[in-house]
Structure 1
């Protein structure tokens, strides 16, 4: 069955709703509840892990060798490292992101007594005071501080507000949706992935399409700190497609249009067969795609494998410019990834042996080693033979 049509208005609506909910890793209860409410509205059943990772599922034509798709709901953020004598807060990051993207950001400090608004500023923030020295300050978390929008001139003042070491800081995403399809915001990684997964589920429900096999739709809550999929992938899942951002940047082959299929990340190559299945589905369904290799990148695939899941994994991404900064994507990429996921869950199972965790050699996969045919043009010779002469092969 071909790809399903994706409602991009619904996708955009869900992305806006998710971006509006602060969810740095460690503070994800609210976004989990909102996602579950949308699953309820779509009529998709689900369970939660103790900490709140979501395991939703759609029944297939058979329960033999289940599939799964995963994205994460948590984002980057910060925590209070120290309360300074001047009433400002020293921060440490949640996840890996540069302090240069924090400068000037509006944010919310989440304390036990309630929330406070504030701004992250460089230590030398006033040109009228420091002159040219403001441009000489190094980049790094020791060189920024959080100014609280409350009476907080001293450490004692901050204590009276109830703010303490370890309190979480949620950075405003500041989203902007343009008419030409571009979307600019923090945390498109990976609120966009979660939104497009919901759009897939909406399309399946609308078309009353039944997947080939039972398919789990997973939403993890701690990917940005490296352990997202470690406790949510069921043992009976044979293949796991991860949805996350591709890095559209100099030296990369990712793009803000179409699907970017990751061939490898810093943990190594993705599964040969599942990755090439996604590529072939793009070709068969005329979905624009490109391939890329990520050097400084890991995803829910790594945490699933490290936790002991014997599962084939692949990574389908939407190209993001300035990832882990002030990010930009295009709706074309989000729609393309969503179309690919619908085509995938409706596609036939190719490796029947994967239905069992252990089995004999019979039915095990093969990877081609034959020498490729080389066409040099009409009448040209290739290794002493004409281009239409295959010799003994």
Structure 2
């Protein structure tokens, strides 16, 4: 197996991109970063009208293509209401539980570029005042942002530049432990994004010619359902979503292997392509788990729903506590990186 996984470079890159705020709908900065990263490597790319990036590597066979995608957009929120007490009511961007962000530091991004810090809290947080607050439902009627400005009414909040519709990003709190764990918000799907960027870097620097023309699609709207369902070249036969493996009771996935998805809430993934990926893992001694994600959808399933005639599959690193304060291990990143490389350099089962 070629040394396709550089742990330090991958982890450093991941730390950089998780610290760039990018809730769905507010992804300009992260996409600019990725564009600069590719440009500095001499990799050409194009941007879609929705702001996604597609980089293409010409293959020996240009009649049938492959496409791999990961997404940079994350969970977040928007200001729904400026309350009379000077605090902010939120509306979710993406799907998560409010308790997953209770107590988290956040940033309000105003329309004029100002960044205002705050904390996401229950309105009834003070235990010396609100008896039984622990039993209250964590929802949009109780959760609010306490902004770190000397304001105590709606007029004061508006004077400092905050308005309804402003985006709110959550602090990632990225950390790598000595034992190899990586803890951070937004590993879904910035861990996979870092792996695809590193793969492109390796292919470019080693001047590796792929057997088929291959597109790397960095999407920016997956969390709201339509990140990678357009701008797919007609020659694409195989479409791979590189996204997190879901961990929990009844799941096979873990934090140390690459997770290959057989089915999610959209239905089964393409059986023959999935089996091909499993066989690639087996024949190359890559640790993997085959799994089903019950409450999950991907850019690959979005492409199928949009009507694209492609074989679709999904694999990626195992991510614990998805859509909360997530965690994975470098072993899972390594296994995913190796499977990505052997996949893009492998023959298709059939070219008919």
Shorter-chain TM band: over 0.9
* In structure 2, distance between residues paired with 1:297 and 1:3: 32
Q: State the SS of the aligned residue for 1:119.
A: strand
Following superposition, the deviation at residue 28 of structure 1 comes to 0.5
8 A Cα contact 1:270 1:313, kept in partner: yes
* In structure 1, distance between residues paired with 2:348 and 2:2: 16
Following superposition, the deviation at residue 238 of structure 1 comes to 0.6
8 A Cα contact 1:78 1:92, kept in partner: yes
Larger radius of gyration: 1
Q: State the SS of the aligned residue for 1:198.
A: helix
Q: State the SS of the aligned residue for 2:228.
A: coil
Q: State the SS of the aligned residue for 1:129.
A: coil
* In structure 1, distance between residues paired with 2:145 and 2:164: 13
Following superposition, the deviation at residue 254 of structure 1 comes to 0.8
Indicate whether 1:252 and 2:214 are aligned: no
Q: Map of 1:110-189 to 2, 5 A cutoff? A: 110-113=109-112, 114-130=114-130, 132-189=131-188
Residue in structure 2 matched with residue 365 of structure 1 by the alignment: none
Distance 1:278 1:4, change over 3 A: farther
* In structure 1, distance between residues paired with 2:9 and 2:120: 33
**Cα deviation code 1:364-384 (max 9, x no counterpart):** xxxxxxxxxxxxxxxxxxxxx
Indicate whether 1:75 and 2:68 are aligned: no
Residue in structure 1 matched with residue 10 of structure 2 by the alignment: 11
Following superposition, the deviation at residue 200 of structure 1 comes to 1.1
8 A Cα contact 1:258 1:336, kept in partner: yes
Q: Map of 1:263-274 to 2, 5 A cutoff? A: 263-274=262-273
* In structure 2, distance between residues paired with 1:44 and 1:336: 25
Deviating beyond 2 angstroms after TM superposition, the runs of 4 or more aligned structure 1 residues are: 2-5, 205-208
Following superposition, the deviation at residue 220 of structure 1 comes to 0.4
Residue in structure 2 matched with residue 49 of structure 1 by the alignment: 48
Q: Map of 1:187-266 to 2, 5 A cutoff? A: 187-266=186-265
* In structure 1, distance between residues paired with 2:232 and 2:119: 38
8 A Cα contact 2:301 2:312, kept in partner: no
Q: Give unmatched runs, 5+ long, in structure 2.
A: none
Between the two proteins, the alignment pairs up a number of residues equal to 351
Q: State the SS of the aligned residue for 2:132.
A: helix
8 A Cα contact 2:261 2:293, kept in partner: yes
Indicate whether 1:36 and 2:46 are aligned: no
* In structure 1, distance between residues paired with 2:161 and 2:42: 41
8 A Cα contact 1:124 1:133, kept in partner: no
* In structure 2, distance between residues paired with 1:263 and 1:136: 38
RMSD: 1.2
**Cα deviation code 1:333-357 (max 9, x no counterpart):** 111111111101111122111xxxx
Residue in structure 2 matched with residue 336 of structure 1 by the alignment: 335
Q: Give unmatched runs, 5+ long, in structure 1.
A: 354-393
* In structure 2, distance between residues paired with 1:6 and 1:102: 32
8 A Cα contact 1:4 1:342, kept in partner: no
* In structure 1, distance between residues paired with 2:3 and 2:213: 18
